[in-house]
Amino acid sequence: MGAGSIALATPADPQEETVLTPAARCAAAIEVLADIAGRRRPAADALKDWGLNHRFAGSGDRGGIASLVYDALRRRSSAAWIMGDDSPRAVLLGSLRLQQGLAAPSIAALFNGEGFAPEKLAENEGRRLSEGNLADAPPHVAGDVPEWVLPQLEAILGDELLPELKALARRAPLDIRVNALKGDREAAMPGLAHHGAAPTPHAPMGLRVPIGADGRGPALHVEPEFLDGWYEIQDEGSQLAAMMSGARKGETVVDLCAGGGGKTLALAALTGNGGRLVATDDDPRRLAPIHERLRRSGANAEVRTPRGGRMRTDVLGDLDGHVDRVLVDAPCTGTGTWRRNPDAKWRLRPGSLAARVAEQATVLDRAGSLVRPGGRITYVTCSLLPAENDDAVAGFLARGGGAFAVVPAREVADAHAPGLAEALRFTAHGLQMSPARTGTDGFYVATLTRAG
């Protein structure tokens, strides 16, 4: 990208309101990044507060500023390295070079000190932008990840570490899953033709919608087809993970960590509403969106919401030992989704990983008590860390005393996602999807069967 890339202020939707110049958006992004760093808060909260305090900014401005902020967070370490400074200003400057591909003269045109633009580039900043590189940067810097998590990532990614980390620092695509309860992918495509939707590489009901130069996609949630339940926004990897559960008509299936219901809807579509589908979550607040999504999609599912506090009861007790399949979309660190949530990687701490590992053991053990002899558990995380994946499965197998066995992951992939196996990374107990290998978020899937 050259000097013309300064048009990064152009709104993704011509109807969006804009007030700020590209240079003013850069100044605003620096302000938001300073708030994130100073108060150690999520990027979404800082962006929301900025918008509330600057109501004159249009929706296009707010979206453009958010794109600048998230790109800077994606490349926080590498941007700071080439600039020799980790200040919010330096990180934004470095990310314009690394993520946006702007040359030093183009960046200087934005940082000119005029009007609401950021202060003019200093001589050393211009030199760093022209000459700085990552040739001698350590892997955690070049790959933009916290240093403490690198050994875990090296263990799974091996020689592909740096390509995978670079892919994990890029912008994520915008994927949707066509709802098979409404129709097939070919029937849905005409309604999305104006967005340039095309089939995803692997998922048979997936469509990928191009994103704009600023990293933003169209507002699909206001499209008539979305409101009529024809599709849901869902990463292709998540679609494939749900498919690998192998849910079929006539079965009793439990979505144990259903959350907002994304995989519950996918399971209903897989069975054609022909089975008994039960959705629950340990946190009742996470279940709040599921009811409207079920209504819109036409999916049939029984939602069991646990009570909190002293009135808390086991809402699945009557199903113990009788369930054909349990999907465990386990709580995890979300390392596989860092393309979408780049600020999350900088807020991740070792204590958070330890807490997730404990939660994973709890939900796996609960799944084990639900499944009938001969039934299956599909364990899924959106993580790349072995501690949450193979290690979690190994711990469950050890606690089970031989009651469960691993179903070979290649067998699962071949049965439910034909043609995907060559792109997958197979592990001791499961399979790993990743941005560089499969073009998806980093999903792990393992399948376990209970002895008959």
Decide: residue 136, CB within 10 A, 0-12 exposed, 13-18 middle, 19+ buried: exposed
- Residue 332 designated active-site: no
Which listed residue (26, 257, 332, 382) is catalytic? 382
Nearest alpha-carbon partner for 192 in 212, 220, 169, 211? 220
Q: What is the phi/psi pair of residue 446, to 5°? A: -130, 140
Contact 450, 368 (CB under 8 A): yes
Cβ-proximal residues to 351 (8 Å cutoff; 6+ apart), any chain: none
Structure token pair of residue 393: 């499965």
Question: Residue 30 corresponds to which tokens in the numbers above?
Answer: 């620096």
Feature table: binding site for S-adenosyl-L-methionine = 281, 329
Residue 278 sits at φ, ψ, to 5 deg, of -120, 125
Enter the DSSP assignment of 305: P
Give DSSP secondary structure letters for 392-419: HHHHHHHHHTTSEEEEPHHHHHHHHSTT
Question: What is each CA distance from 336 to 15, 389, 415, 432, in whole angstroms?
Answer: 34, 12, 24, 10
> Which amino acids are annotated catalytic?
382
